[in-house]
Amino acid sequence: MGNELSREEYRKNKMAAMNEEEEVKEKKPKSRESKKKEQETGTSRRRRFPIWLRLIVIVVLMVICLVVGAVIGYSVVGDGKAGDVFKKETWTHISDLVNKDK
């Protein structure tokens, strides 16, 4: 009698697992019809992090990396003062060194 209960429990657990697998398989990519229906009803999913905001974040990060790189390059590698990177005279001097006549 004890084996029959465990068999019944086993069968219930197996059926539950099969149902879960079927639910996972049923989640397929949306077809064109469902996307069109979402557009008509206005129930489409919105992005949590919009593309325009991603672009702004990327540009800001690029500027930060440029400034940090200039500060490290000028102060650590070039043995200058870190604050001098933000002065116009420093960049005109660097420009003159790069573009000097040979």
For residues 81 and 75, give the distance between their C-alpha atoms in angstroms, rounded to a whole number: 5
What lies within 8 Å, CB to CB, of 85 at 6+ separation is: 67, 70, 71, 74, 75
Name which of 85, 65, 86 is nearest 76 in CA terms.
Answer: 85
pLDDT tens track for 27-65: 656 667 766 666 677 666 778 889 999 999 999 999 999
Reported as half-sphere exposure (CB side, CA atoms, 13 A), residue 97 has a value of 6
pLDDT for the residue numbered 24:
65
Confidence (pTM): 0.50
